[in-house]
Structure 1
Amino acid sequence: MTIIDRYILKKYLLTFGLMLLLFVPIGIMLNLAEQVGKMIDNEAPLVEILIYYGNFTIYIGSLLFPIFLFLSIIFFTSKMANNTEIVAILSSGVSFWRFLRPYWIGASIIAVLMFMMGMFIVPSASKGYNEFKYKYLKKGKQDRDKDNIFNQLGDRDYLYVSSFDPERQIGYNFTYEHFGEDGKLDYKISAANIRWMEEDSVYRLTTYTKRIVEGETERLETRRRLDTLFAFQIDDLTPVSYIAETKNLFELNEFIRDQQRKGASNVNTYIMVKYKRWALPITAFILTVIGVAVSSVKRRGGMGVNLAFGIGVAFIYIFMDKVFGTLAEQSGFPPLLAVGIPNLIFGFIGYYLLSKAKR
């Protein structure tokens, strides 16, 4: 590695680290200002608050990694271009592709960091972040996730809860339906709530009712409380966004296989999370290419024009990612294409801009 390589790589990594150090604390302060009232009202212990903000730092930092990386590349490369450093490097006989080598090295380092964090570190931080949020920031029934949670288990079993409390592991307005091979209802179980009892490894149903259909007749069973077993896991009652975020690479793969065996209708959402984690390191290279292509040429407007263009590209990329992600989750659009199309489009854009910058 030459002196120029070390010089550019140092700027690459230091500017990226500086972006994180500058903006992540701002995010923490904004979150604290918004949530401090709920923390005080719900008597959140200081130790748990500190742990929460440690997890919050990792969680938010991972979400903003691509944007910070992109802006840091534009910032220091534009500065080099304005100081005619790039012109001097290329005039010395260094080819443009050789000039890019330290950028590839930097992108590789960031890609490995993104991969390790996305697959193993962020899920653990996300679990602690969400547990604290549901325990202290969304405490009380009125603040629980109100999304109706429906899940299909295989071809003949369906379950539903009106809301789920991950901290207490309770689902409300629980319904479980089992259909026979002829497509007719065999039985239906209803309960005011269902709770997972960790110490006994059973489900506890409150205000339990079971309606059994036997030909033309029906039989009704009722109990005030019933401890029983089901073939599904407590994760099947958890809101999709919450449970997917908290599983590492191996846990998520196993969970997806389990959901596919059951024939769950929302398995595409989990697959999307998996593919996005794999695509994140590739994003580091794409954004590096676009960032260098945009900022390596000295412009009349200086760094401000490059930063404005970079922010615009970042928002378009995020918009496309959200659109295709929603298509995959809400329709039959393949998750692999939903993740791959934005990266392919911006990959071609980056190659075109880089070829133009080279000339």
Structure 2
Amino acid sequence: MKILDKYLLKSFLITFTTVFVILFFIFILQTVWLFIAELAGKDLDFVLVIKFLLFSMPRIIPLVLPLSVLLASIMTFGSLSENYEFAAMKSSGISLQRAMRSLIFFITILAIVAFFFANNVIPFAEYKFINFRKNIAQAKPAMAIAEGQFSDIGEYNIKVNKKSGENGNILTGITIHKKSNSGNGARIVIKAKDGKLISSEKSSILKMVLNDGYYYEDVIPKKYEERNKLPFVKSFYKKQVVNIDLSELNNVDLNDSSITNTNNMLNVSELRYTLDSLNTNYDNDVVSFSENINQRVGLNHRTIKSDKPQKFKALPKNILSVLDDTQKSGLLKTVQNNISSTLFSIEASKNELKNKERNINKHWMALYEKFVIAYACFLMFFIGAPLGAIIRKGGIGLPIVFAVLIFITFHFINTFGKRLSQEGGMTPFMGAWMSSFILTPLAVLLTYRATNDIGLINFDVIFTPIQKTIQKLTQRFFPKQT
């Protein structure tokens, strides 16, 4: 039996390694394609490009590994069935479960390695990848300005619709927000039809020459009642130069790592610690928000919980009757302002709590996904191995069709569950494990049918009634001539 185990293990390992390398190369090409615009023409040396790709490689392992196990299992067991090697094994009294024993041992080791890889290597690589991109962007200012989104550079937030030119220094459709020192948002907005970036290695100042645009600046009056008019200054210009100080941005080390605020950079123990802090912070915010609203509307926990009757001074039935028209107008305006302020505070707090809840769900998802990838190796093996034995086809034809369909289903359900759980539509546990829960019965069914030589689908059950119906109709409308 050891000879058979070695033979099966060798066949599977050769197929698995080949499939894994091919799929890994395909996904690497996809990564290069996604970031080619970010890397090309930015005057980066070859070593920086290689480090960029190396840090991005581990993130594709959760996609490549389960698909490789699935495809290798279908191809290996399909080839054995196609060449009647399984028939020889069964005639010798060797069942499918016995034939799979050595491979189950290998898949167990692979699942353990996958978990430790997801728990240690992927967070480290993600940590390095994000920081490396940030540091490159700081060292290469033209690279820091991305198309179609706001980019934070010094005291400015810059958005461009399109970049062109040899080094991406020709800009089209420019919108610039200058940060306010008071922290009350951007009061200065500069728009331009096009522009150009001019930099020099000897200077820490990046010049942005803008053409044909508008300059807007919000003006905050000293009198509070005049602020509702929202006054602002607007001017048109043919050419304007914006100087951006890069003295702090250029003083960076490409090996420095200072970003630590993403859930994908944490291992299991760090995620548990972070989740504990996030949940505590969330609970405190809810309590603080409740107390703040109660104070705004004149309620407090002592008033609500008190069983003793409260003594109030006698008030007129209509409090407005004791006021003149001016006082009534002032009172109603004050009440209206208080209500608007309270509603605004409630809406802002609601959005803030929603974002914090979404962040907590993302951390839970990152925690569960480290276990899902290990289970996915088992799941794909117990789907692929019996499926290959049933379809009895090896090679790269029919097995690839089945593997792609199954994996797309798995990946679609997994993505749908993640999105839904992040928005609070279901618990993060169900979102992360939903695809595994749905496909596990398929693995059990296929293993049962392959063990009992039932086949994938009993077509006789479907076609026999149809055939009988056609025969009856034929005999009725086209009787045989005697």
Q: TM-score, with normalisation over the residues of structure 2?
A: 0.52
Q: 1:119 & 1:7 partners in 2: Cα distance?
A: 33
Contact 1:62 1:122 (C-alpha < 8 Å) held by counterparts: no
Match status 1:26 vs 2:26: yes
* Equivalent residues, number: 280
Q: 1:110 & 1:277 partners in 2: Cα distance?
A: 14
Listed as ranges, the matches of 1:1-359 within 5 Å are 2-32=2-32, 35-36=35-36, 38-136=38-136, 139-143=143-147, 190=184, 238=261, 243-263=262-282, 264-266=356-358, 267-299=360-392, 304-359=397-452
Q: Which residue number corresponds to residue 218 of structure 1? A: none
Q: CA deviation at 1:113?
A: 1.4
Q: CA deviation at 1:37?
A: 5.0
Q: CA deviation at 1:125?
A: 1.1
Q: 1:89 & 1:105 partners in 2: Cα distance?
A: 20
- One-letter amino acid matched to 2:93: G
CA displacement 1:10-53 (0-9 Å, x = unmatched): 22233222222223233334544564453243222322222222
RMSD after superposition: 3.2
Contact 1:38 1:136 (C-alpha < 8 Å) held by counterparts: no
Q: 1:191 & 1:144 partners in 2: Cα distance?
A: 20
Larger radius of gyration: 2
- One-letter amino acid matched to 1:101: R
* CA distance 1:326–1:90, change in 2 (3 Å): same
Greater Cα shift, 54-63 or 70-79? 54-63
The answer for unaligned runs of 5 or more in structure 2 is: 152-156, 159-176, 187-257, 283-355, 453-482
Q: CA deviation at 1:298?
A: 4.8
* CA distance 1:136–1:75, change in 2 (3 Å): farther
Q: 1:71 & 1:339 partners in 2: Cα distance?
A: 23
Q: 1:300 & 1:118 partners in 2: Cα distance?
A: 33
The answer for unaligned runs of 5 or more in structure 1 is: 148-161, 164-171, 176-187, 193-233
Partner SS for 2:93: coil
Q: 1:111 & 1:67 partners in 2: Cα distance?
A: 13
Q: CA deviation at 1:94?
A: 0.9
Greater Cα shift, 306-315 or 13-22? 13-22
- One-letter amino acid matched to 1:326: R
- One-letter amino acid matched to 1:265: E
Contact 1:13 1:106 (C-alpha < 8 Å) held by counterparts: no
Q: Which residue number corresponds to residue 185 of structure 1? A: none
Q: CA deviation at 1:121?
A: 0.6
Contact 1:286 1:343 (C-alpha < 8 Å) held by counterparts: yes
- One-letter amino acid matched to 1:353: L
* CA distance 1:173–1:257, change in 2 (3 Å): farther
Q: TM-score, with normalisation over the residues of structure 1?
A: 0.69
Contact 1:123 1:248 (C-alpha < 8 Å) held by counterparts: yes
Q: Which residue number corresponds to residue 326 of structure 2? A: none
Partner SS for 1:7: helix
What is the percent sequence identity of the aligned residues?
19
Q: 2:60 & 2:120 partners in 1: Cα distance?
A: 15
Contact 1:55 1:128 (C-alpha < 8 Å) held by counterparts: yes
Q: CA deviation at 1:82?
A: 1.3
Contact 2:388 2:394 (C-alpha < 8 Å) held by counterparts: no
Partner SS for 2:57: helix
Q: 1:270 & 1:103 partners in 2: Cα distance?
A: 34
* CA distance 1:173–1:12, change in 2 (3 Å): farther
* CA distance 1:189–1:32, change in 2 (3 Å): closer
Q: 1:94 & 1:293 partners in 2: Cα distance?
A: 15
Q: CA deviation at 1:118?
A: 0.3
Q: 2:55 & 2:416 partners in 1: Cα distance?
A: 28
CA displacement 1:46-67 (0-9 Å, x = unmatched): 2222222222222223332111
Q: 1:299 & 1:95 partners in 2: Cα distance?
A: 16
Contact 1:16 1:68 (C-alpha < 8 Å) held by counterparts: yes
* CA distance 1:287–1:139, change in 2 (3 Å): same
Q: 1:301 & 1:328 partners in 2: Cα distance?
A: 39
